[in-house]
Chain A
Amino acid sequence: MTRLHPFTLLALAAALVALAWLLPAPWGAAGTLAVAAVLALFSGAGLTPGASPGSTGTGMSPGWRPGLVVLRTAVVTAAPFWLFLFILHDVPTTVALGLRITTMVASVVWLVAVLAPARLVEAMVAAGWRAGTAYLFAATLSAVPVLKARAQRIVEAQRCRGLSPRGGLGPRVRALRALALPLILSALHEVDERALALESRGLVPGARRTPLAPPPDRGAERAVRWALVALCVAALVWRLA
């Protein structure tokens, strides 16, 4: 799966999100969610042992494990939305919106897991995009693993200063608050430093980057991408009609 061209992966995720909202709920939404879940489950397909497609350094074993991690992350991230929806709306609306949001979340989580920022940059640059723009897209993708790594460091430092991440609701909420602020603060601060650092490494406005290892693009994939676009347009037309 990770050998697919980055644009194909992007197109799949975008199409799933678009179709989830375009197709009538609840069946359309449920259908797209099912597709998203299947994609998520296969996130590990094609990985060699010790390799990871997106974030660095975890060396997950191939097979089902990455897929299960992706699914679990998606469910956990979407859960609060279901809670709010349940409080605010009646059951049919809750189900409809909930399924759509979950599809969105699942697609994004899946994309972050299977699409390596470096490959996306290479693909965009090979297609003629400017380096700065490509980096902007890639940075958004890598934001999650970078923030995750940072969050882990902060949690570790706090644990070593006596903060317990376990316990009842009270301590957990306190711990979350103690994590959120530094995460955001240091992430924002780092944005400044990163801008400086990247400029120092040649990433200036207007830079035309040389692709080092452009991902191969196959005719079949291009066809699939166009088909997805057509599918979304068709769904849109059908809904409007």
Chain B
Amino acid sequence: MTRLSLEHVSFWYPATDTPALADVSLEVAGGEVVALVGAVGAGASTLLLVAADLAPRVVGGRLEGAVDFRGRGNGEGGRGIVLPTPWTQVSGMAFTVWDEVAFGPANLGWPREQITRHVDRALARLEIAALRDREPATLSGGELQRVIIAGILAMDPALVLFDEPTAELDPAGARMLWRLVRSLAAEGKAVIVATNDLDALPDVADRVVWLEQGRAKKIGPPALLAEDALCAAGLGTAVAVVWRAGGLPRPYPLTVDDAVRLWRHR
């Protein structure tokens, strides 16, 4: 079931002539993980803001085209976005991590029992139950990022948007996060992730959107990340890039396993 659809969406930030998004059309269904890849400034963050209904509503600017979200208003079954740099998304008004995660659900006006259930579950999912009584200001960047993600998940959104979620996480944390993304999709949520961690995507994404200067240049399965054009643009997986740089013929392998298989059959 389609949760989000963008039809020929263009977006201009306030007082700019060049569009940050140009004629982007995309449909995301529940249970699907869509990854946005592109150079810095290509429009991934902007697309997430538009999908979250924060642009142009809160950010300002101009939007053309149609954005259609099928969920239940804000909160339960709504859309949640995890912004990059966790320290800007902290409420600044919580004594403990538990309160911080409960910030969102409390703002939605849920009954206390429901808040507790969702917060405890979110803490467990992000593997930070042990941090529940800590003061948010004493957390490291990676711990804070997990807390913020928990805070968004606790609001039980139907569409979850992630902007560089692994930027502050250590490798173990990153693995945990990608597993979490898959489990969110398994629950029927629609997930869109903007990330530079291309090597993780073959196991995580159902579809990949290649953004360049605000346009969706190509949309396809993760195998896209082994295509010549993307490798040339610096958007291929490390394995594909190395294979190509070694002068070996197409098709380039996407992952180490693919490479081994190809190598065996030479």
Contacts and interface: CB of A to CB of B under 8 A. Distances in A.
A11 interface: no
Given A198-B91, A204-B74, A212 B102 contact: yes
A146 B93 CA distance: 11
B92 A200 contact: no
A203 B107 contact: yes
A219 B75 CA distance: 37
A193 B163 CA distance: 14
A185 B68 CA distance: 36
A91 interface: no
Contact of A201 (B49, B91, B95, B136): B91
Given A57-B137, A195-B58, A201 B104 contact: yes
A91 B88 CA distance: 48
B152 interface: yes
B74 A56 contact: no
Interface string B25-63: 000000000000000000000000100101000110000
- The winner among A131, A190, A196 for most chain B CB atoms within 10 A is A196
A200 B95 contact: no
Contacts of A190: 88
B59 A196 contact: yes
B99 A200 contact: no
- Interface of A: prevailing SS: helix
Contacts, number: 89
B54 A212 contact: no
A194 interface: yes
Interface in A120-150: 121, 131, 135, 138-139, 142, 146, 149
A197 interface: yes
Nearest to B155: A202
Interface string B93-110: 111000100111111111
Instruction: State which size class the interface on B falls in.
Output: 35 or more
Contacts of B104: 201-202
Contact of B135 (A57, A193, A199): A57
A40 B59 CA distance: 41
Interface in A84-139: 116-118, 121, 131, 135, 138-139
Contacts of A146: 92
A201 B58 contact: no
Instruction: State which size class the interface on A falls in.
Output: 20 to 34
Given A201-B89, A201-B152, A212-B115, A196 B109 contact: no
A61 to B, nearest CB: 17
Contacts of B90: 197
A138 B137 CA distance: 17
B13 to A, nearest CB: 12
B137 to A, nearest CB: 4
Given A118-B93, A118-B94, A197-B88, A202 B111 contact: no
Nearest to A138: B93
A193 B115 CA distance: 26
B266 interface: no
B95 to A, nearest CB: 6
B151 interface: yes
Contact of B83 (A116, A135, A200): A200
21 contacts: A56-B135, A56-B136, A57-B138, A118-B99, A121-B93, A131-B107, A135-B93, A138-B93, A190-B88, A197-B88, A199-B58, A200-B52, A200-B80, A201-B91, A202-B107, A210-B106, A210-B108, A210-B111, A212-B99, A212-B106, A212-B112
Q: Which 9 pairs across A and B sit closest by C-beta, in order of nearness? A: A202-B107, A56-B137, A197-B89, A57-B137, A201-B104, A208-B109, A193-B88, A118-B93, A202-B104
